[in-house]
């Protein structure tokens, strides 16, 4: 295997971890026993001594040849400058009421993963759980990675957790057998990490990770800062759901919802997110986000042939429904995506 860049764990430590640029995707942890996450902090526990490593090469914050990755995924490179390569953009939601209710918005991601599992397209999925969705979760604010193998497990992971989680830390375990077909749901940084790994080691990671669903993501919060912020204001609540409708950040608890002005939440964003230009998970098979003007629905971007197949099957199964994305809203979506890119370019120019 020839690695794209001749660098390894020491370089990862110097260029990413020590610079506060790690987005805690979990990719390096998933392929190396010497890298761990302590809560959301990724650390190299031992010096493996190798000069070149997949850990450096898969990191979403090390140099990335996007054109090469796009060619590998989509077979072509032409793309929309704001949203990346796509076939079509729709509004979508789960048809099952229970899935809709447990989902963040329309429950599209949950419905698609359940449908792909039932169809045997995948037999496991890397997901992110939290908010005491299982008894083992002690801290309602700290999401954890989960390898879900059936619909029950997928439903237990529904809902957005706005702190970073090293979901990909279970990737090695997920693909350890060639019969395993793993789906991945992740933030844009996580999608990029898996795509880089597929490029580095296609024999293992292309065929064994046949489906990647990316979330739209402007930023994730620092768990540590978020927890301290809430602790300074009283008891850490029992969280049911977190949402960001317009101006506020809202924590729905078993009691009264807690509203935090967005200006205060901004202080808690992970520094790595300020340098991520990708709002819509441009390298995913399918990308799913909110629909701000229609909150029970999702915005769905169908990007790859595999993504289209998964959507066609979910429609055949009656797992999701689609409607047209209003053409007059497309510019707003594109503006949000290109503003993120512009912000990153401006930060990099100032450095």
Contacts of 294 (CB under 8 A, 6+ apart): 91
| 272 sits near ligand FAD (criterion: CB under 6 A) | no
Q: Please tell me the total number of residues recorded for the chain in this structure.
A: 351
Q: How far is the CB of 219 from ligand FAD (least distance, A)?
A: 7
| 161 sits near ligand FAD (criterion: CB under 6 A) | yes
Element (H, E) at 338: helix 327-350
Q: How far is the CB of 50 from ligand FAD (least distance, A)?
A: 29
Task: Say how far apart CA 316 and CA 119 lie, in whole Å.
Answer: 11
Residue 134 or 178 with smaller CB distance to ligand FAD:
134
Helices (H) then strands (E): counts for the chain: 14, 13
| 226 sits near ligand FAD (criterion: CB under 6 A) | no
| 30 sits near ligand FAD (criterion: CB under 6 A) | no
| 143 sits near ligand FAD (criterion: CB under 6 A) | yes
| 158 sits near ligand FAD (criterion: CB under 6 A) | yes
| 218 sits near ligand FAD (criterion: CB under 6 A) | yes
Among 28, 220, 239, 310, binds ligand FAD (CB under 6 A): 220
DSSP notation for 53-116:
-HHHHH-TTS---HHHHHHHHHS----BTTTBS-SEEEEEEESSHHHHHHSSSS-HHHHHHHHH
Residue 187 or 303 with smaller CB distance to ligand FAD:
187
Residue among 112, 159, 53, 20 nearest 314 (CA):
112
Residue 15 or 132 with smaller CB distance to ligand FAD:
132
Residue among 118, 129, 127, 120 nearest 181 (CA):
120
Residue 127 or 265 with smaller CB distance to ligand FAD:
127
Count of other CB atoms within 10 angstroms of residue 202:
12
Q: How far is the CB of 72 from ligand FAD (least distance, A)?
A: 23
Determine phi and psi for 287, rounding to 5 degrees: -120, 140
Helix spans in 175-250 (H) = 188-200, 202-208, 223-231
Residue 70 or 278 with smaller CB distance to ligand FAD:
278
| 222 sits near ligand FAD (criterion: CB under 6 A) | no
Residue 18 or 296 with smaller CB distance to ligand FAD:
296
Q: How far is the CB of 19 from ligand FAD (least distance, A)?
A: 21
Residues 174-193 as b/e (b if ≥16 CB within 10 A, e otherwise) read bbeeeebbbbbbbbbbbbbb
> Which listed range, 68-76, 161-169, 233-241, 260-268, lies at the site for ligand FAD (CB under 6 A)?
161-169
Number of residues that bind ligand FAD (CB under 6 A): 31
Q: Find the radius of gyration of the CA atoms of the chain.
A: 19
Positions 100 through 119 that interact with ligand FAD (CB under 6 A): 103-110
Among 124, 187, 195, 270, binds ligand FAD (CB under 6 A): 187
- Chain positions contacting ligand FAD, by CB under 6 A: 103-110, 127-128, 143, 157-162, 165, 167, 185-187, 215-218, 220, 288-290, 298
């Amino acid at each position: 295997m020839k690695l794209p860049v001749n660098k390894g764990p020491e370089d990862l430590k110097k260029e990413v971890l020590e610079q506060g640029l790690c987005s805690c995707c979990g990719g390096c942890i998933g392929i190396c026993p010497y890298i761990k996450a302590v809560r959301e902090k990724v650390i190299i526990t031992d010096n493996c001594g190798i000069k070149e490593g997949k850990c450096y090469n898969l990191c979403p914050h090390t140099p990335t040849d996007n054109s090469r990755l796009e060619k590998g995924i989509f077979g072509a490179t032409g793309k929309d400058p704001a949203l990346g390569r796509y076939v079509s953009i729709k509004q979508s939601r789960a048809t099952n009421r229970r899935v809709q209710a447990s989902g963040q918005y329309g429950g599209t991601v949950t419905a698609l993963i359940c449908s792909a599992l039932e169809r045997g397209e995948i037999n496991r999925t890397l997901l992110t759980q939290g908010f005491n969705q299982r008894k083992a979760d002690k801290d309602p604010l700290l999401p954890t990675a989960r390898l879900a193998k059936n619909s029950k497990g997928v439903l237990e992971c529904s809902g957005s957790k706005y702190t970073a989680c090293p979901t990909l830390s279970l990737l090695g375990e997920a693909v350890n057998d060639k019969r395993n077909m793993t789906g991945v749901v992740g933030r844009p940084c996580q999608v990029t990490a898996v795509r880089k790994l597929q490029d580095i080691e296609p024999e293992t990671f292309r065929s064994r990770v046949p489906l990647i669903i990316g979330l739209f993501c402007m930023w994730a919060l620092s768990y540590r800062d978020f927890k301290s912020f809430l602790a300074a204001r009283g008891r850490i609540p029992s969280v049911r759901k977190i949402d960001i409708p317009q101006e506020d950040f809202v924590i729905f608890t078993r009691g009264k919802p807690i509203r935090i002005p967005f200006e205060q939440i901004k202080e808690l964003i992970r520094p790595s997110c300020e340098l991520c230009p990708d709002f819509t998970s441009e390298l995913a098979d399918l990308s799913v986000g909110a629909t701000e003007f229609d909150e029970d629905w999702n915005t769905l971007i169908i990007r790859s042939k595999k993504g289209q197949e998964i959507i066609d099957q979910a429609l055949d199964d009656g797992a999701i429904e689609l409607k047209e994305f209003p053409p007059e809203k497309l510019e707003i979506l594109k503006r949000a995506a290109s503003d993120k890119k512009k912000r990153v370019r401006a930060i990099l120019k100032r450095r």
